[in-house]
């Protein structure tokens, strides 16, 4: 566990020692704030349902920018050899990097928690639906990070890592848009595959086992595949 914590701390230090982390934090918050007030002004609703859906869409663009360097940079700089010849298992390396990104992401969405107090000032929002919305958006970000980590483990080129992430995330997000071309099992499969259909329930205050399992299974699958990807490269 100490080794995972050391890796997590190293990654966090790496984010915050460059301006990239601060730029992304500030840019995201500015963007979310503008969109939040626009939506409040337009809908006159004391809920955060719409902003959660906007955040989901924005994170498709933002998270690959954060995750693309996780492994690609290590490979390009030659430090991957340092990690892989140290007494670390691939799962330690994967978890150390994953937790660091998850902490950064949690910090980002926790700052938006102030939106609850703003809508509460103007009305009586349902705190449970807002809380479940935050659980949903956190799980969704956690899945996006796991996907970004996986694509970063495939290449030493950060641009390729980001583009591959975009391809997968857009496929997941927009799969629900293709349901009109299919019926039966295929239609149901596309609905279940889409992140939009799962986050919608959370945003409405409904937490179902199938939605939670969808995110957790996706996260575990991506982390396991990342570990295997590293292991494969280790023993090639």
H or E stretch including 6? helix 2-16
Q: H helices of 69-204, where?
A: 69-77, 79-84, 90-111, 114-122, 127-152, 158-174, 184-193, 195-203
CB contact at 8 A, 20 and 101: no
Could you say whether residue 23 binds another protein (CB under 8 A)? Answer: no
**Based on CB atoms, which residue is closest to another protein, 9 or 49?**
9
Tell the smallest beta-carbon distance from residue 7 to another protein (Å): 7
Among 1, 78, 185, 209, binds another protein (CB under 8 A): 78
Could you say whether residue 107 binds another protein (CB under 8 A)? Answer: no
Among 12, 14, 54, 187, binds another protein (CB under 8 A): 14
The structure tokens listed for 184 are 């039966």
Q: Which stretch binds another protein (CB under 8 A): 87-95, 130-138, 149-157, 210-218?
A: 87-95
Tell the smallest beta-carbon distance from residue 222 to another protein (Å): 23
Among 42, 87, 117, 124, binds another protein (CB under 8 A): 87
Q: What is the DSSP letter of 156?
A: S
Could you say whether residue 86 binds another protein (CB under 8 A)? Answer: yes
CB contact at 8 A, 13 and 90: no
Angle at 210 between CA 209 and CA 211, to 5 degrees: 90
Could you say whether residue 156 binds another protein (CB under 8 A)? Answer: no
Could you say whether residue 83 binds another protein (CB under 8 A)? Answer: yes
Q: What is the DSSP letter of 113?
A: T
Q: What is the DSSP letter of 235?
A: T
Among 6, 26, 27, 34, binds another protein (CB under 8 A): 6
Among 82, 122, 128, 189, binds another protein (CB under 8 A): 82
Residue with the two structure tokens 């970063």: 152
Phi-psi domain of 13 (left: phi exceeds 0; alpha: psi -120 through 50; beta: other)? alpha
Among 17, 124, 183, 210, binds another protein (CB under 8 A): 17
Report the Cα 166 to chain-centroid distance in Å: 12
Q: Which stretch binds another protein (CB under 8 A): 83-91, 106-114, 118-126, 179-187?
A: 83-91
Could you say whether residue 20 binds another protein (CB under 8 A)? Answer: no
CB contact at 8 A, 100 and 12: yes
Residue with the two structure tokens 């496929």: 171
Among 23, 81, 113, 186, binds another protein (CB under 8 A): 81
Interacting residue ranges for another protein, rule: CB under 8 A: 2-3, 5-7, 9-10, 13-14, 17-18, 77-79, 81-89, 234-236
């Amino acid at each position: 566990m100490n080794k995972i914590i050391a890796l997590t701390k190293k990654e966090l230090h790496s984010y915050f020692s460059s301006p990239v982390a601060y730029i992304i934090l500030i840019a995201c918050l500015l963007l979310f704030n503008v969109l939040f007030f626009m939506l409040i002004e337009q809908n006159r609703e004391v809920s955060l349902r719409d902003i959660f859906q906007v955040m989901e869409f924005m994170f498709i663009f933002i998270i690959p920018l954060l995750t693309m360097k996780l492994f690609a940079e290590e490979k390009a700089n030659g430090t991957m050899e340092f990690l892989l010849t140290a007494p670390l298992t691939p799962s330690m390396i994967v978890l150390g990097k994953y937790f660091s990104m998850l902490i950064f992401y949690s910090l980002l969405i926790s700052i938006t928690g102030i939106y609850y107090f703003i809508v509460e000032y103007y009305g009586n929002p349902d705190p449970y639906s807002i809380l479940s919305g935050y659980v949903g958006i956190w799980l969704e970000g956690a899945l996006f990070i796991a996907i970004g980590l996986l694509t970063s483990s495939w290449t030493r080129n950060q641009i390729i890592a980001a583009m591959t992430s975009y391809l997968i995330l857009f496929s997941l997000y927009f799969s629900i848009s293709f349901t009109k071309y299919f019926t039966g099992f295929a239609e149901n499969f596309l609905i279940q595959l889409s992140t939009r259909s799962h986050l919608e329930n959370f945003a409405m205050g409904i937490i179902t086992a199938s939605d939670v399992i969808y995110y957790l299974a996706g996260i575990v699958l991506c982390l396991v595949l990342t570990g295997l990807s590293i292991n494969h490269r280790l023993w090639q």
